[in-house]
């Protein structure tokens, strides 16, 4: 009985459906009864990783969904009480061979390369975005708003103006925010007269009038409450749209829609792009597009399972403005390495993706580009978004452009393992103007600047989300550990590469000198000497095997004295029997003496002539 687990990496449910179409051949090959009931009992698939039950003995086949084979092994090793076999199927990722080579270390400590969970962050940006979503859905009581602002450390004195100031900070560009007064109350007052520049470009003015007020009767409390709400449709379509959930739906042949799951609208295109195949709950689907009513339309694709294709998105990050954070501890110098927090305006373009048979197979990768201004992937824009900038030390001139780009590439590959399913929303980018883009684009994402200066010796860590997910904070907190993983990987890689280029000489076996034999034929083994009694018994047996001659006349012509015959037999010899003798009656078995008139044949010599009597 075997169990196959995999929900988001490989369509195990669809594979079971395909296998049952060939159940006869499969069951015959396995030596099991050739019926589907036996297949159901012996071969089990599940898309739920956490449904594995504890048993005395288990045989598991598990998909490596976290790109960390020993973390998967550790989880399923607890499911067997006495004996278990775990077969982990891993797709291609950078640390796979490194982990397999150091299997002894990872079997001892599966957390040597951990799966890091995003840190919980209660930033002001997340709080305001949540309040915007609430006010655009239903009227929010003044008491609730005051409580939320208090958790941000804001003392309320003019709620509407303060709310607009915080909303303005989320959607205004860095340059406009830098013009506000440093004093909080003066900045609140100045912002109340300003409009969001991103809407001014469209000819729409959105200012403090975005926030509406009204009194609503609260039936639960039995009193009237003063509430605030947002009803501007342009603002909701542009800003609130990406904060709402988008449901995955699939259409069947009858035109009915089946709900699969949901995700934030602003997180869809970071994971899947039109035309890509992906697995959801153990079933295979093809991504179509995001509909106007906030649904992700997908199509069943079980008949298109031909392998395990992987994809690399082509992303272009453009900084349109940035400034250093003035928060306490926002800029640090750690042994020559500078870690700085910045606020930046970012544009994200996704012109296409690479389709690959394996994640590292750049030679046969197919580039898929989206053409057309309206049919392309919508541009994502983040205003006043916090990012992390890292300047590595010069290291006596050894830190050049190639080293910086290599470290950036390795960071993205390590993110794939340590952040698993969240790796789509955290990226490391750096300037690539020193080399041809075609050479490096498949390896990582690119970054450029418009209206600002890009530090060409820096590595930027960016969260590709309107929300603060806590991934950037996790990178900063585990920065030394991440660099340690990269260093250890590079040491192993260089040693392995050197060993493959210059393999050690195989030790030669020692030379053995053997004297040639004079002749190739095998020498006959010396016959084992027989005792007197044994020879006598053999001779008596040979008498019965002799062929009978014509008459008894020849027997009388040459009588032989038995006593003389026996006395002339030398010890250790076994002579051949003479030809022409006539068999006689055997000796008396009781006495062992020859019978009366019995002739015992003489024993011939080694030569062919007869011995004289």
Over the chain, what is the mean pLDDT?
82
The string of DSSP codes covering 339-362 is EEEEEEEEEEEEEEEEEESSTT--
List all residues 6 or more positions away from 264 whose beta carbon is below 8 Å from its beta carbon: 242, 243, 244, 245, 246, 467
Distance, CA of 131 to CA of 243 (rounded, Å): 11
- Give pLDDT, residue 31: 84
List all residues 6 or more positions away from 289 whose beta carbon is below 8 Å from its beta carbon: 274, 296, 297
- Give pLDDT, residue 257: 67
Q: What is the mean pLDDT of residues 350-365?
A: 88
Distance, CA of 427 to CA of 463 (rounded, Å): 7
Helix (H) or strand (E) holding 611: none
User: Which tops the pLDDT comparison, 401 or 341?
Assistant: 341
- Give pLDDT, residue 575: 46
- Give pLDDT, residue 166: 93
Locate all alpha helices (DSSP H) within 444-561, ordered by sequence. Answer: 471-477, 479-501, 532-545, 553-557
Residue 386 has pLDDT above 90, yes or no: yes
Residue 76 has pLDDT above 70, yes or no: yes
- 357 contacts 309 by C-beta, under 8 angstroms: yes
| Strands 55-63 vs 257-264: parallel, antiparallel or unpaired | unpaired
* Nearest of 203, 220, 132 to residue 168 by alpha carbon: 132
CA geometry: angle 293, 299, 305, nearest 5 deg: 155
Q: What is the mean pLDDT of residues 143-148?
A: 92
Least confident of 164-173, 279-288, 432-441, 502-511: 432-441
Residue 382 has pLDDT above 90, yes or no: yes
- Give pLDDT, residue 607: 47
- 214 contacts 229 by C-beta, under 8 angstroms: yes
Render pLDDT for 179-232 as a digit per residue (tens, 0 to 9). 999 999 999 999 999 988 878 777 788 899 999 999 988 888 888 999 999 998
* Nearest of 9, 89, 105, 72 to residue 489 by alpha carbon: 105
Residue 567 has pLDDT above 60, yes or no: no
- Give pLDDT, residue 451: 83
Render pLDDT for 158-172 as a digit per residue (tens, 0 to 9). 999 999 999 999 999
User: Which tops the pLDDT comparison, 610 or 260?
Assistant: 260
Render pLDDT for 454-503 as a digit per residue (tens, 0 to 9). 888 899 999 999 999 999 999 999 999 999 999 999 999 998 888 888 88
List all residues 6 or more positions away from 394 whose beta carbon is below 8 Å from its beta carbon: 336
Render pLDDT for 513-522 as a digit per residue (tens, 0 to 9). 666 655 555 5
* The model's pTM: 0.78
- 458 contacts 390 by C-beta, under 8 angstroms: yes
């Amino acid at each position: 009985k075997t169990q196959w687990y995999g929900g988001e990496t490989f369509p195990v449910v669809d594979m079971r459906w395909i296998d049952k179409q060939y159940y006869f051949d499969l069951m015959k090959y396995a030596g099991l009864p050739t019926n589907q009931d036996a297949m159901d009992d012996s071969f089990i698939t599940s898309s739920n990783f956490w449904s594995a039950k504890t048993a005395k003995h288990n045989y598991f086949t598990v998909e490596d969904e976290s790109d960390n084979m020993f973390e998967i092994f550790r989880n399923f090793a607890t499911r067997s009480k006495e004996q278990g076999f775990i077969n982990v199927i891993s797709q291609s990722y950078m640390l796979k061979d490194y982990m397999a080579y150091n299997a002894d270390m990872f079997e001892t400590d599966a957390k040597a390369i951990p799966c890091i969970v995003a840190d919980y962050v209660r930033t002001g940006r997340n709080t305001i975005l949540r309040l915007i979503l609430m006010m655009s859905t239903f009227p929010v009581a003044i008491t609730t708003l005051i409580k939320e602002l208090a958790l941000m450390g804001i003392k309320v004195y003019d709620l509407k103006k303060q709310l607009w100031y915080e909303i303005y900070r989320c959607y205004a560009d860095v340059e406009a925010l830098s013009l506000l007064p440093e004093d909080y109350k003066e900045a609140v007052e100045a912002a109340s007269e300003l409009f969001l520049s991103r809407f001014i470009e469209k000819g729409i003015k959105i200012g403090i009038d975005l926030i509406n007020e009204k009194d609503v009767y609260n039936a639960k409390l039995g009193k009237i409450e003063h509430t605030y709400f947002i009803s501007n449709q342009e603002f909701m379509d542009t800003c609130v749209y990406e904060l709402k959930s988008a449901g995955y739906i699939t259409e069947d042949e009858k035109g009915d829609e089946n709900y699969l799951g949901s995700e934030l609208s602003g997180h869809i295109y970071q994971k899947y792009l039109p035309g890509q195949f992906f697995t959801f709950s153990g079933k295979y689907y093809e991504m179509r597009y995001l509909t106007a009513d906030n649904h992700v339309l997908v199509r069943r694709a079980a008949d298109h399972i031909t392998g395990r294709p992987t994809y690399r998105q082509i992303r272009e990050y453009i900084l349109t403005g940035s400034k250093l954070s003035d928060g306490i501890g926002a800029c640090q110098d750690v042994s020559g390495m500078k870690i700085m927090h910045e606020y930046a305006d970012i544009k994200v373009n996704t012109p296409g993706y690479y389709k690959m048979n394996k994640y590292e197979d750049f030679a046969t990768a197919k580039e898929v580009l989206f053409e057309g201004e309206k049919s392309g992937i919508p541009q994502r824009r983040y205003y006043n978004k916090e990012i992390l900038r890292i300047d590595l030390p010069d290291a006596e001139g050894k830190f050049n452009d190639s080293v910086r780009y290599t470290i950036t590439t390795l960071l993205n590959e390590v993110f794939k393992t340590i952040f698993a399913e969240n790796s789509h929303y955290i990226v490391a980018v750096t300037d690539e103007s020193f080399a041809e883009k075609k050479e490096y684009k498949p390896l990582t994402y690119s970054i450029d600047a418009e209206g600002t200066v890009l530090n060409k010796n820096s590595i930027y860590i960016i969260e590709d989300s309107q929300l603060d997910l806590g991934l950037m904070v996790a990178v900063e907190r585990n920065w030394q550990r991440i660099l340690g993983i990269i260093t250890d990987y590079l040491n192993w890689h260089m040693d392995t590469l050197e060993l493959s280029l210059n393999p050690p000489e195989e030790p030669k076996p020692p030379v053995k000198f053997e004297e040639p034999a004079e002749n190739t034929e095998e020498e006959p083994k010396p016959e084992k000497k027989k005792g007197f009694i044994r020879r006598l018994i053999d001779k008596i047996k040979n008498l019965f095997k002799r062929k009978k001659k014509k008459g008894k006349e020849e027997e009388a012509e040459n009588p032989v004295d038995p006593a003389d015959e026996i006395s002339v037999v030398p010890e250790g010899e076994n002579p051949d029997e003479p030809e022409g003798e006539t068999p006689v009656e055997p000796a008396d078995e009781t006495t062992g003496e020859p019978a009366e008139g019995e002739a015992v044949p003489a024993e011939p010599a080694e030569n062919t002539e007869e011995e004289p009597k």
